[in-house]
Amino acid sequence: MQATILDGKATAAAIRERIGQDVTRWMQSGGAVPCLTAILVGDDPASQVYVRNKHRACQQVGIDGRVERLPAETGQAELLELVRRLNADPEVHGILVQLPLPQADDPAARIDPREVLDAIDPAKDVDAFSPVNVGLISQDRPRFLPCTPQGIVRLLAHYGLRTAGRRVVVIGRSDIVGKPIAMMLASKDGVCGPDYANATVTLAHSRSSDLPSITREADILIAAVGRPELIRGDWIRPGAVVIDVGINRVGDRLVGDVAFDEAVAVASAVTPVPGGIGPLTIAMLLQNTLDAAKRSAGGQTV
């Protein structure tokens, strides 16, 4: 059997086209130009590429994308001051602090990412990293959904790959992907309806014993652990759906957390790396920014 390759690039392009139309309608009806401000501290090459891609994607759909660039030596107080200024700026609907933040050698000069993220107004927290937004997701009444997990659900829905009643195994317990996707797929009312929620979810991680026996139980396997090609073909149940969130640089190649060629021979559907979940993450950021602009016009503060 040869798996279907789930085309995240094409799916994201279709979603972005729809968001662009939505932005136009919103502004024609008198809405303010949705505005996303990204804060980029230091000169990490990967972060620069991510922020540039986000900025370009904003422009393509009519969102005002702004970037605040700060030197690597920026201190905690200065960064917090910028976040507070953006919180108070009514023109700015979404704020994103690109991670990772640089880590100074001197402990006294080190930025505490948690404190910076916590300072973002939850109503502008388009990454959905704040405790308020995480709490709302855990209570199945989300305001913002984090971009990568939301992208995963939308890709599954685009291909009609239902999760309700099925066994999902998530590998990786990060705040950005693993924990929120586990909560979202176990919830009753998913972002794409109950067919794409209501799963029986196992959250495994690097300390789980006998990972292959856990992953073989999965109807839908989501790998977000950050270990190049950890998941081999014989870890996958024949006919399973495999979602690979990993982006690992190995020499001059980008590889996922799944050994792609082996997965293709066993699974019924697989996401490639690159061109799988990555493009959807940015599309969801645009969606969250538009939602933030609409909510702010309605006077909602969370």
CA distances from 202 to 91, 108, 116, 230, 243 (A): 41, 40, 31, 18, 15
CA–CA distance, 112 with 129 (Å, rounded to integer):
15
Site for ligand GUN in 10-49 (CB under 6 A): none
Residue 148 or 271 with smaller CB distance to ligand GUN: 148
Q: What are the structure tokens assigned to 67, written together?
A: 């970037």
Q: Which of the stretches 18-26, 94-102, 203-211, 253-261 binds ligand GUN when contact is defined by CB under 6 A?
A: 94-102
Amino acid making up residue 198: N
Catalytic residue among 7, 54, 244, 257: 54
Among 21-29, 73-81, 96-104, 250-258, which window interacts with ligand GUN (CB under 6 A)? Answer: 96-104
Residue 98 within binding range of ligand GUN, rule CB under 6 A: yes
**Span 165-184, contacts to ligand GUN by CB under 6 A:** 176
Residue 9 known to be catalytic: no
111 scored as a contact of ligand GUN (CB under 6 A): no
Q: Please report the DSSP string for 74-132 in residue order.
A: --HHHHHHHHHHHHH-TT--EEEEPSSPP--SSGGG---HHHHHHHS-GGGBTT--SHH
Q: Identify the residue among 80, 99, 104, 265 touching ligand GUN (CB under 6 A).
A: 99
Catalytic residue list contains 21? no
Q: Which residue is nearest to ligand GUN (CB)?
A: 99
Using a 10 angstrom Cβ sphere, with 0-12 exposed, 13-18 middle and 19 or more buried, the burial of residue 56 is exposed
Integer Cα distance of 276 and 25 in angstroms:
29
* Identified catalytic residue from 22, 121, 125, 127: 127
Q: What does the DSSP 8-state code read for residue 37?
A: E
d(CA 155, CA 258): 18
Return the number of the residue (147 or 170) whose C-beta is nearest ligand GUN. 147
| Residue 202: DSSP 8-state | E
- Supply the minimum distance, in Å, between the C-beta of residue 185 and ligand GUN: 18
3, 12, 63, 96: residue in contact with ligand GUN (rule CB under 6 A): 96
* Catalytic status, residue 127: yes
CB 231 within 8 A of CB 259: yes
Stretch near ligand GUN under the rule CB under 6 A, chosen from 93-101, 132-140, 253-261, 292-300: 93-101
| Residue 147 binds ligand GUN, judged by CB under 6 A | yes
Which amino acids are annotated catalytic? 54, 98, 127
- Applying CB under 6 A, the residues found at the interface with ligand GUN are 96-99, 127, 147-148, 176
